[in-house]
Amino acid sequence: MNQTHFANLVPEQAWRLGHKTVLRYKDPVEKRWMEVGWLAFDADVRRTAVALAGMGIKVGDRVGLFSPNRAECLVVDFALYSLRAVGVPLYATSTTAQIKYILKDAGVNILFVGGQYQYDRAIEAMGLGCGLTQLVVFDTGVRLAMSDEQTLYFKDFLQQGYDSQLEDEVSDRRAQASFTDLANILYTSGTSGEPKGVLITHAMYQEALRTNHMKLKTLSDDEVSLCFLPMTHIFEKAWDLYCLARGFRIDINEHPLEIQEVLKEVRPTVMCSVPRFWEKVHAGILQTVNGMPPLVKVYFNRALQVGKRFHLDYRRNGLRPPFWTIIGYTLYKHTLFKVIKRKVGLDRGVFFPVGGAAFSEELCRFFRSMGVPTVHGYGLTESTATVSVFGDLHYDMATVGTVIDGLQVRIGENREIQLKGKTITPGYFNKPEETAAAFTADGFFRTGDAGAFTDRGELVVIERIKDLFKTANGKYVAPQQLEMALTADAAIDMAAIIGDDRPYVTALIVPNQAEMKALAATLGLKGDNTAVWLADERLLAHFETRIRIAQKHMASYEQVRRFTLLPAPFSMDNGELTNTLKLRRKVIAEHYADIIEAMYR
């Protein structure tokens, strides 16, 4: 794969691939998939770049993008790359306070917004003095404020004062594009403190594409990727850029709550994802199987055992499975596994990278045994996503794989994973002190994650260093490891572990609603009152058993001694979760202080 600056990628692909479909999105009115070819994509990028140039966007200027996933987001991204300007994406669920801070910090004057929620927050931020002078709205269904004179719909924005001289200017900037140019400022949501703008250069993206291509070169140029993680997330952003550089088709899911139906319609061959997605798929499969006759459940468990032998005991280790294992797995592959994967939309999968959080060994084993090609890795915004990833053979599911080519990784003080290489950020925008603190004296980036290497050189991520806590008995506990073990159970949607300087470990548990309703029906609990159900001793005893089984492999001092079932999940709206669904532990501890104290009486 040739290295091409993103300023020139789309026109080169349009010349090479012509009318081949590059993007698909679902029409919100007609509810059908609309196709965009490379030539049309290129034309849209050119028109947008000319319109932005007409607005006075200069080299290095920052432009904001506040929208759910849409085809227009990629159009604007590449228009900015064409102008050597800098895209500043914001999570579509961000609050007014969050976007005000980011827009002011980045010095954004022009902001593209997606729908009504984003428009309303942007107008509020403008009223608070964030520095915005122009809004451009993608969705023509958005109702504009009566007094709003700073907003254009995207379709009208594209018609603003076309000038052939501006098109020449865009061509000139493309010709002058350099890999040293700043491409994006990606603000990390942060589990504590204010967001930090991570600087991502074109050179970092190019190196990330190069190193990942070494593993992915066997993929066909006709793969279909489903884009459903926020395009603001480095994982999705870097993955989409790789897909476009390869000429893959990207199908865009705008509404996260529709992912299950969209997955069935698209049936992607490749897609990036996070563990939470696979936890939900796993729970859905088990719920379906548990609703089937007992004989089918026995058949399913037998199929998983055979799949494990085929994929994990033999193929993973470079060995040919025995004849009868091949026969057995082939039978299950073309019957039960085929039906289940087709029903979910995973039947065409060839490469599903998983990152962004810890992926439990149990879940990895489950999907691999079914022949679903989940590939776990580790990375962060500051490393342009990938640091390490499973190899094709001999990977250990308790690790995050081997380090990618060209990146130096070492274990420093306090077992901290530290990084150095061409994909590592030069620092944080407008934050010289934080930038200096993020690097060691010899130039290694401090990830804040504790880790280790196995004897075979695979990387193990233990915990966020700041999340490790010590009980009153002096024992260290890694809460994420325990939370991951608990949420691997289909009955548990979320878990927050408590125990810092406490005599024992406790947990706040968010039960899976479907599992809880089924259990309530089995127990004969009347009505639909979650609060009443959660106080029922039989239901509590059931969850106590599930928790005991889920944590049986943990040391006794790590295990949950007491727990409380919560009637509602942790939420981004009240600050308990980041935009990437990570727990904000301090906020949770404050919100549930009375409940937590009650577990220690």
Rounded Cα–Cα distance for residues 455 and 40 (Å): 51
Rounded Cα–Cα distance for residues 327 and 335 (Å): 13
Following DSSP, what letter does each residue of 302-348 receive, concatenated? HHHHHHHIIIIIIGGGT-PPPHHHHHHHHHHHHTHHHHHHHHHT-TT
What pLDDT was estimated at residue 292? 84
Domains of the chain with CATH codes: 6-177+218-266 (3.40.50.12780), 275-422+447-464 (no CATH), 468-598 (3.30.300.30)
List b or e across 132-163, with b for residues whose CB sees 16 or more CB atoms inside 10 angstroms.
bebbbbbbeebeeeeeeebbbbbeebbeeeee
What pLDDT was estimated at residue 169? 95
Q: Taken in order 158, 159, 161, 167, is the CA torsion positive or negative? A: positive
What's the pLDDT tens digit per position in 458-483? 999 999 998 999 899 888 899 999 99
Report the phi/psi class of residue 371: left, alpha or beta, with left for phi > 0 and alpha for psi in -120 to 50: left
Whether 506 contacts 599, CB under 8 Å? yes
Q: Which candidate, 31, 42, 342, places its Cα nearest to that of 171?
A: 42
DSSP 557: G
CA atoms within 13 A on the CB side of 124: 14
What's the pLDDT tens digit per position in 328-374? 999 999 999 999 999 999 999 999 999 988 898 999 999 999 999 99
Residues found in the chain: 601
Low-confidence ranges of the chain (pLDDT < 50): none
In 3-state terms, what secondary structure has residue 432? helix
Specify the pTM: 0.91
Place of tokens 């319609």: 265
What pLDDT was estimated at residue 209? 97
CA distance from start to end of the chain: 62
What pLDDT was estimated at residue 192? 58
What pLDDT was estimated at residue 2? 78
